[in-house]
Structure formats: C-alpha cells, structure tokens
Amino acid sequence: MKKINKCCLCVLLLICLSFISSCDREGEYNIAYKAPDPIPFPATKDLSFSISFPLDSDLNNESLKIISFYKTSNVPKLADRGNETIPVIVTDTEKSQLVIMADSQNNPLFFSYVDPLAKSPTISSEEIAKALVLLNPYVIQLPAEQRTDFLDNTVLSTAFPQLVSLIEELLTRDPHNLIDPNTHPEVVTRAFVVVRETFENMTTSHQAFKKDIGRAAYLRVLDKAGNELSFENPFMTGYGVEWVNYFGHKKNIFIEGKQGILTFQFAWPPVVITLPVESETINASDGRFKSIFYKGFNIDVDNWWLPYIPGLPDNLQFSKSATIAGTATWYNAFISIDILIDTITGKSIASNIMDIIGRIVKVADLDDIYDFAIALRRGDPVELLSAIVRFMKDNWDDLAYSIWSDSPGLDTAKFLEAAEVLIKNIAQALKLVDWANHHAPFIWDMIFAPWKVEYCVIQENGILDECSEYPPLIPPIASLSIKPINPYIGDSVIFDASESTDDRTVDLRYRFDFEGDGNWDTNWSEDSSANYVFTTSGNYNAIVEVMDEDGLTGIANYYFTVNERAKAISTALVIDKSGSMNGQPLIDAKDGAKIYVGYMGSADRAAVISFDSIVTINQVFTDDVNLIIHAIENIQVGGTTAFYDAVYNGISETAKEVSSRSRAVIALTDGADNASKFNVVDVINYALKEGIPIYTIGLNGYGFSQATENILILIAKKTGGLYFYAPDSQDLKRIYDTIAGIRTALRKKKDFE
C-alpha cells in the first residue's frame, strides 16, 4: 500500500466536508456536522524549583535549562544563583509529572520527577531516580493514583538507594551521559530492578477473573435475551466492529479497550485482572451475519485512516467511505498519546478521545500516521514509546488543535524533541534487560492483539450459533525463541517458532526476518525453525510471521544481542547447600541457577561452587552448558554454613579467568555464616583487589536475619554488584533471570564493574 499523499488527503477531506455542509440535491438533508467543543486546556501554575547536585558536579559550573511541557526556564550557574530558586510552569494538578534538565544548547540530560504536592520541588538524584522508575513501560501504564502509590513504595525498596547512589556518582563523574544507553546502560537496568522489586513487594491477593468462554480471552459475540446481542473485547486496545447482514447492510459498533490498568495486580510480571469490555446491545433479527473486528492500523483495509463517528447518523458521516477501522486507528493512537501526556503533565485526555476523533478530520497533514502503523506492524514493543513521542513531535501543532483547539505553549515542541532523545535512550537500554521479551499488557496488546478477526454468525429463534460451513477466521498465535539466547559473532543461531498455534489449523507456514530490518530472510515454508549466522555485533529484533490455512497471519518477535567474543562473561555460581536448604529451597535454587545458565552465550563460561561447612568446587570454569547443569543438579544438601569461605573461593576461581572477560560472582545463602575461617572484610577486600563484583541473594529461611541481610547488602554495594531478597524460594527463578539480564546489559561495561 502506498503512503497517503497529503494533497490527496486534503482534497478528499474538503470534498467530504463540502458534501456534508451543502444542500443535498435530492433534498434528503441540509445539515452541517458540528464537532464537539474542544476540551479545556489544562490550567498551569508556577513552581519554584531548586537544584541539588553534588558539590563537585560539573553541572554546577554550567548554565542549564529546565524544560517543562509549557516553558523553558534558564538555570544559572551555582555561583550566580546562590539560594535563588528557578520559576517553572507545570500543570495545576495533584498528579505527578515530569520535567527535563537540559544543557544551555537544549541537549537533554535527564528527566526529573515533580512531586504533585510540593510547592518547591527539587531536582536531585532521588527525583531523577523516580523519573526513571515512572517511565518504565510497566509503571507508565498505571493510572495516576496507582503511580503515586507505586512511587511511595519504590523509595522503600532495597534497590532504590543503590539507584540513587549510582545517579549521585554519575552526576559527579559523567552527568552529560547519565542515561546514555551506550555509555551507562546500568542506570536504566538498575531502575528496572527497582520496578521489579516494587511490584513484588506490592503483590496483592487479588484473584484473576476467569470465565469459560471457549477460546479464553478473545474477541467474541455475546448472545443476549431474545434477538439482542453484544460484542466483547478482552484487550486493552479499542476495536471497531462491522455487523453485516445477508444483504450487505452494515452496522458499526465501537468497543473501547478495557481499563485493566485500573486494577493492576501488583506482582511480577504485572497481571491485569479486569473483566473484558462489553459493547452496547444491538437488536438483530434471525438470519446470517458477518461480525468483523478491527483494531485499527489495518493498512490492508480501504480507508483504514478515515474515521466513522460513533453515534452520528450515517447520512451525516464525513464521508460515505468512513470506516470503523479508521475510528479504531485514531482511538488507539490517542490512547497511546494519552499515556505520555498523562505521565508528563498529570492530565488525561482518555475520556474525551471520541470527541477528539470528531475533530481529527479537520487536520489534513497527519498522513504519516502510516509510519506509526508500519512501526506497530513490525512488532516492535521496545520502539513503541519512541514512535509515540516521534509521532507527537512531528505533528504536535495539529494534534494540539484537535485536542484543545489551541497550541499549549511555545515550548511544548522543545519538550517533545528532548523527550524523544531520552525515551529512545531508555528504550534502547531496556532491550538489554530483556524487557521486550516480557508481556507489558497495553504495549503488548497495541502490537500483538489481533488486527482483524471475522466470524460468520447465524441467529435462529433468537439463538446465536456459528455458521458451520464458514469457520471463524481467527489468526494464529505466533511464538518465537532463539538458541543460544546470547549469541556471539559466528554462532549459528537457531530460531524456533514450533510453539506457534492456531484454533483449527494443523499445518502452519512460517517466514523469518532474522535481523528485524523489515526484509524477510526466508520464503514461506512449513519449516518452523531456521538457522542464521551473524557477522556483526549489535541489538536485533528477530521476527517470525506465521500463516494458517485461512491465509491469516500472526507475528512474534524476540530481542537479543549479538556480542563480540572478546566481551564474554565468566560467572561463579555459589550455592548454599546447608541443612536449612533441604527440600524445596534447594530444588528452587538449582532451577534458578539453571535459568541463569540458559542465558549463557557460546563463549560465556561458568563455575559451580556449593557449600555447607565445607566448600566444594562442583565444576571448574567451562563453556560446556551440559557440564554446568549436571554439576548444579548433583548438589546435595549438607550441614552448617561457610558462606564467606565459599564466596572467597568463588572470587579465587573467577580471578583465574582472563581480565578481558566480564567477571562476577553470584552468591546465594539462606542464613548467617557459622563455619568460615574468612570474614566479610576479607571477602570485600579480595573482591576489590581482583575487580570482581559480587551479586548476593538472601533467601528468607532458618537463621536469616536483618543482620545477615545487612551483610549481603554491604558485600554487593562495596564490590559493585547488587543485592536481591527472596521472601520465598520460588522467587529465586526470577532473581537469576533478572541478574542474567543485567549481566547481559553490562557486557560492554567492564570499566563500570
């Protein structure tokens, strides 16, 4: 499909509007459609900001700027401003929002969080840390009241002070690259750890609603009393429905996406527990019908961009060619935009989106929504936030006119331009912690929920059934995995889509885009797997498209990093096998360690060390995954706890690995040390001498106390690692998974370690 031409779009809209506003020559009507009044522009207020950077930070000697959504404020050098504060304009709301700190040339440095109740906000390490948390893709989906609750709990997490400390250090050492993913990916990856821990700490006892509706959690038609029926949408994105009878007459119905974020279950990964959204009830006589669901951005559908205005009589539509697919396109686009606007300003446009769609046809230069659609169709969740900001930035004047009928301040474009740079940095760094391969509900639905689903429905005596000779057209659900997970240049990477499924098709067909560059590297084939050798290092987004016998397709993708072999990882896995680990704790510890091993690239190496009163080297360093897993599985429970001796041995073994490799020790214990000849000071000094960070895991068990936890935190902090708390042994799998993501992110950061 060719990209929409602006001139053609403009002419078409003028013709449509002229057609509506002029007198119909057959005398049917003479009414001009009047779009709803624009929503009021958010009120603003002046706040007095103060700056609190470390005294030896270079930023104190520079002229800086604070860029809000509404205005840019100059920040003089510390010597010139003294105790004076900086006036900044923000939204007049009791919801959190963000500003950007930039240098004198408007180059963005970082976001800062604005406390909704603060009369004199401060830009400091802690507020920068909160902003990073707020912009995490999982947190950004929360409604304002839950975001506030989440941030209140964030500052209580054990990982948050470590994030603040890292930011404080970088404000002194390298403030201009603080969230540059190529220079300091560890900032965003540590913020990600904070988010995971906070979700886990806030886990509720909510139970997910479950209904036996055939194919669980899918679009469907609901049979109501008599001839009435309705439509159900279990996704967070809106859907337009065409209800077409035997004679081709259409009825258009729109179903908003479910607001699952309003009842987010605080767990990891977050779980949406909201019931699906049900549409208005319609009356349908007996007969045969087609029910077609459109998510929007259906570029293979005519006029996918031209909205039908729900509730407006058909003879008053802007164009006889208006489509419910166009309505879904604009609804989902504005829902995406609302996430950013609400996060940045604390004001939502969600309740006014259908009115905004009624005004969008006045704007003739938004045809590059096609580019937005292409980005979504490529299946790229990491780039979605960047695409939204880019779409807003490129079209801000027209978008603002559609939303508020006025441009909200001269500096909004500057804010969006700076935000695009920072959002891209955050998105790029999040790739390194494997975020893109997890399910973030709204973002996942925006990209992977079905684009089009079609049912053939027959109603007899008020009872619905599917037309037996026309099975429902439901696209397949694609799945993709790779092996090894962290490949190196020259490795033969296996791409496996064999877990893909369809509602009724057995024989599926597949094609692969190994590098995610938009070019299919294989033709359609019945082979569900393929091999590819990468010759260049970098971050890749592999894509598989799966086709069923109806010709319907589904996509899946997988993010991974191809590394140079010289930057491989060596990790000593130190595992507690003392008596208190007997049973499920040791089983879960082994399973967690094996998860970490599963992330190893072909050039990565690992050693396995277990301990009770005696330290045992179960496996010296090797790149043979089978030997490592065998050593882990053969660990047997023992007696008392010589934790310090075990970690000391782990450092000793790791120090034998060449220093060009990224080296670390991961040490797990469930209790206090009671059998070592070395002490905590010996361990820390040895690790610092060899330049080896220690990641400590504290499992709540017999003998585990606050004193034990403090020691584990101290070891991790002093050596450049991280501490993780596992309330239960079942948490160990996700902890090893998290550490694997962080270690992958830091492959290029040997100097940081």
Confidence class for position 28, pLDDT limits 50, 70, 90? very low
Q: Please tell me the predicted confidence (pLDDT) of residue 305.
A: 87
Mean pLDDT value across the chain: 84
Judged by phi (left if over 0) then psi (alpha if -120 to 50, else beta), residue 613 lies in alpha
Longest alpha-carbon distance in the chain? 100
Q: Please tell me the predicted confidence (pLDDT) of residue 88.
A: 92
- The residue among 512 and 553 whose pLDDT is bigger is 512
pLDDT digits (tens, 9 = 90+) for 232-282: 999 999 999 999 987 888 889 999 998 765 556 666 767 777 888 999 888
Is 122 strand, coil or helix? strand
Using a pLDDT cut of 90, give the percent of the chain over it: 37
Q: Please tell me the predicted confidence (pLDDT) of residue 619.
A: 96
Highest mean pLDDT among 302-316, 321-335, 423-437, 446-460: 321-335
**Token pair of 691, please?**
């330049």
Residue 92 C-alpha from the chain's centroid: 28
Q: Please tell me the predicted confidence (pLDDT) of residue 510.
A: 97
Q: Is the pLDDT of residue 212 over 50?
A: no
Q: Is the pLDDT of residue 19 over 60?
A: no
Choose among 302, 395, 294: nearest CA to 12. Answer: 302
**CA-to-CA distance for 133 and 152, rounded, in angstroms?**
11
**CA-to-CA distance for 189 and 426, rounded, in angstroms?**
9
Q: Is the pLDDT of residue 215 over 70?
A: no
Confidence class for position 108, pLDDT limits 50, 70, 90? very high
153-167, 256-270, 632-646: the lowest-pLDDT one: 256-270
Rounded to the nearest 5°, which phi and psi values hold at 125?
-60, -40
Q: Is there a common fold for 208-295+450-473 and 475-562?
A: yes
Q: What is the mean pLDDT of residues 442-471?
A: 83
Q: Please tell me the predicted confidence (pLDDT) of residue 213.
A: 26
Domain ranges of the chain: 44-201, 208-295+450-473, 475-562, 569-745
CB atoms within 10 A of CB 656: 12
The residues, any chain, with a CB within 8 Å of residue 102's CB and separated by 6 or more, are 64, 65, 66, 67, 108, 109, 418
Q: Please tell me the predicted confidence (pLDDT) of residue 467.
A: 79
CATH topology assigned to domain 475-562: Immunoglobulin-like (2.60.40)
**Token pair of 389, please?**
């900001």
Q: Is the pLDDT of residue 451 over 70?
A: yes
Confidence class for position 462, pLDDT limits 50, 70, 90? confident
537-541-543 Cα angle (round to 5): 130
Q: Is the pLDDT of residue 505 over 80?
A: no
Amino acid at 311: G
CA end-to-end span of the chain: 49
Burial class of residue 8 (count of CB atoms within 10 Å of its CB; 0-12, 13-18, 19+) = exposed
Using a pLDDT cut of 70, give the percent of the chain over it: 88
**CA-to-CA distance for 316 and 309, rounded, in angstroms?**
9
The residues, any chain, with a CB within 8 Å of residue 228's CB and separated by 6 or more, are 281, 282, 283, 284
Confidence class for position 375, pLDDT limits 50, 70, 90? confident
Q: What is the mean pLDDT of residues 404-421?
A: 81
CATH topology assigned to domain 208-295+450-473: Immunoglobulin-like (2.60.40)
Q: Is the pLDDT of residue 657 over 90?
A: yes
Q: What is the mean pLDDT of residues 362-370?
A: 67
Is 667 strand, coil or helix? strand
CATH topology assigned to domain 569-745: Rossmann fold (3.40.50)
Choose among 113, 118, 116, 120: nearest CA to 145. Answer: 116
Q: Is the pLDDT of residue 477 over 60?
A: yes
Choose among 634, 637, 720, 649: nearest CA to 683. Answer: 649
- The residue among 362 and 662 whose pLDDT is bigger is 662
SS (H, E, C) 686-739: HHHHHCCCEEEEEECCCCCCHHHHHHHHHHHHHHCCCEEEECCHHHHHHHHHHH
Answer yes or no: are the C-beta atoms of 161 and 129 closer than 8 Å.
no
Q: Is the pLDDT of residue 591 over 50?
A: yes
Q: What is the mean pLDDT of residues 569-579?
A: 94
Give the count of alpha carbons within 13 A of 179, CB side only.
Answer: 34
Q: What is the mean pLDDT of residues 179-183?
A: 86
Within 346-480, residue ranges assigned H as helices are 353-360, 369-377, 381-394, 396-404, 412-431, 441-448
